[in-house]
């Protein structure tokens, strides 16, 4: 394994934004991981673990540390019977290629998570979710390298602390574990999840097969925002998370929407709210539209027109500061007009404490 210096990170991200990493290496196993961490310790460097860079915004100044990219490969069926299959997948495998492989084999569970860029390992980090499905429903266990003890450990699903866009890997234990592989448990019997509005409308009362669901998800997603295959369409998916409010906070939001806009606006929002237990799930995209934030454009970055949760590198030459300014405009407007604090979704690398604070990331 070689450790390289001054490697530009922009090409390793789907935003196509970001300066150089002081050091950069690619690892395939725990021995590479050990070597990399020993190097970082000797040089007194911070470490960042990189997958496909699709949930990441890197600062134009780059990262003054060691970036470790996980590139191990391998897909192995470890158990199966008539009803289901358990598959171990290496972190470095491309996620959507793995989804396609499962769909072709007739294994149910991942089809709603089609057309999401990035690597398989990162799927567990933010408990990736889309179109009514979440990673936590299909993950059996996660194998990690513990950088604190240099040991390989296996976490059961219930050890991972999965919740909306979170797990222990991006909260309480952030930075401690390198995920090396994930075991998924999928079904061989039909199990379509069509509860999500877009899919329910697409299929009405029909009973689609796996391929049809995957194709529908791909087409619906492509209508909303660009798949980042080139710099001009660079993005990191949803930049802003949806809101989860308790009953009191929901009441306060109602007052603000009626005061700032109208009762009709509130009634429209209310029909889009999803109640889960005691929490109200509010679509942040609707709040952005309400506040007229759809047209925000600063430098080369803008709010995507069809799906305003996404910030796009419109010119292909947007800087990280352009993206940060767009994000700040959104967050500040939502706070001042509606009194809500929305969280951002992507990881931020190489930013100053004050930039992080502006984006709601308090360290
Ligand atoms: C067009 C587009 C659509 C998207 N749609 C969705 C969506 O519908 N739902 C959704 O949830 N997300 C979505 N995303 C976000 C993103 O694709 C996912 O979060 C994806 O899982 C990130 O994978 P990655 O390999 O690119 O991770 P990276 O961006 O490289 O890293 C993300 C985080 O995971 C950590 N990480 C990565 N690999 C490992 C590892 N092996 N071990 C430990 N930590 C690791 C990194 O340190 C970082 O904290 C979308 C992004 C884009 C660009």
Task: Please report, in tens digits, the pLDDT of each residue of the chain (363 residues total).
Answer: 899 999 999 999 999 999 999 999 999 999 999 999 999 999 999 999 999 999 999 999 999 999 999 999 999 999 999 999 999 999 999 999 999 999 999 999 999 999 999 999 999 999 999 999 999 999 999 999 999 999 999 999 999 999 999 999 999 999 999 999 999 999 999 999 998 889 999 998 788 999 999 999 999 999 988 888 876 789 999 999 999 999 999 999 999 999 999 999 999 999 999 888 899 999 999 999 999 999 899 999 999 998 999 999 999 999 999 999 999 999 999 999 999 999 999 999 999 999 999 898 865
Q: Is 292 left (phi over 0), alpha (psi -120 to 50) or beta?
A: left
Nearest CA to ligand 1 atom 2: 237
Specify burial of residue 97 (Cβ count, 10 A radius: 0-12, 13-18, 19+): exposed
Q: Please say whether the structural domain 231-358 has been given the CATH code 3.30.1360.80.
A: no
What single string gives the DSSP state of each residue in 111-143?
GGGTT--SBSGGGTTTT-EETTEEGGGTEEEEE
Class of domain 75-224: alpha beta
What single string gives the DSSP state of each residue in 63-81?
EEEEEEEE----EEEEEE-
119 lines ligand 1 (CB under 6 A): yes
Q: Is the Cβ–Cβ distance between 25 and 36 less than 8 Å?
A: yes
Nearest CA to ligand 1 atom 8: 130
> Angle, to 10 degrees, between the axis of helix 95-104 and the axis of helix 210-224?
150
18 lines ligand 1 (CB under 6 A): no
118 lines ligand 1 (CB under 6 A): yes
Structural domain boundaries of the chain? 4-70, 75-224, 231-358
How many whole angstroms from 52 Cα to the centroid of ligand 1?
A: 7
How many whole angstroms from 350 Cα to the centroid of ligand 1?
A: 17
How many whole angstroms from 129 Cα to the centroid of ligand 1?
A: 11
Nearest CA to ligand 1 atom 36: 122
- Whole-number Å distance between alpha carbons of 81 and 79: 7
Query: Of 317, 345, 320, which is closest to residue 331 (Cα–Cα)?
Result: 345
Measured in residues, the chain has a length of 363
Nearest CA to ligand 1 atom 32: 55
How many whole angstroms from 153 Cα to the centroid of ligand 1?
A: 22
- Residues facing 119 on adjacent strands: 94
Class of domain 4-70: alpha beta
Residues 6+ apart with CB under 8 A from 230: 16, 316
Helix (H) or strand (E) holding 187: strand 177-187
Same fold, 4-70 and 231-358: no
47 lines ligand 1 (CB under 6 A): no
Helix (H) or strand (E) holding 57: strand 56-58
């Amino acid at each position: 394994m070689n450790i390289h210096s001054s490697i530009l990170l922009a090409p390793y991200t789907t935003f196509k934004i970001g300066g150089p990493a002081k050091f950069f290496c690619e690892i395939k196993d725990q021995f590479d991981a050990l070597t990399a961490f020993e190097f970082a310790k000797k040089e007194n460097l911070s470490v960042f673990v990189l997958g496909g860079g699709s949930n990441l915004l890197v600062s134009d100044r780059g990262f003054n540390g060691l970036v470790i990219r996980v590139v191990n490969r391998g897909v192995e069926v470890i158990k199966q019977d008539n009803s289901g299959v358990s598959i171990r997948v290496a972190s470095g495998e491309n996620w959507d290629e793995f989804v396609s492989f499962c769909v072709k084999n007739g294994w149910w569970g991942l089809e709603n998570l089609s057309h999401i860029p990035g690597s398989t390992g990162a799927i567990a980090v933010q408990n990736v979710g889309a179109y009514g499905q979440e990673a936590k429903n299909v993950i059996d266990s996660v194998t990690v390298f513990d950088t604190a003890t240099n040991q390989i450990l296996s976490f059961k699903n219930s050890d991972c602390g999965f919740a909306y866009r979170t797990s222990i890997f991006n909260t309480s234990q952030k930075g401690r574990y390198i995920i090396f592989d994930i075991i998924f448990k999928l079904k061989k019997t039909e199990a379509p999840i069509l509860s999500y509005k877009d899919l329910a409308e697409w299929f009405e009362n029909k009973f689609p097969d796996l391929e049809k669901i995957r194709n529908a998800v791909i087409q619906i997603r492509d209508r909303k925002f660009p798949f980042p295959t080139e710099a001009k369409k660079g993005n990191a998916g949803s930049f802003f998370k949806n809101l989860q409010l308790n009953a009191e906070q929901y009441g306060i939001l109602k007052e603000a929407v009626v005061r700032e806009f109208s009762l009709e606006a509130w009634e429209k929002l209310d029909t889009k709210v999803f109640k889960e237990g005691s929490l109200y799930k509010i679509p942040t995209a609707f709040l952005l539209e309400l506040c007229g934030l759809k047209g925000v454009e600063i430098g080369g970055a803008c709010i995507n027109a069809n799906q305003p949760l996404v910030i796009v590198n419109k010119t292909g030459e947007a800087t990280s500061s352009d993206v940060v300014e767009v994000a700040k405009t959104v967050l500040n407007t939502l706070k001042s007009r509606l009194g809500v604090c929305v969280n951002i979704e992507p990881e931020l690398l190489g930013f100053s404490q004050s930039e992080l604070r502006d984006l709601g990331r308090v360290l």
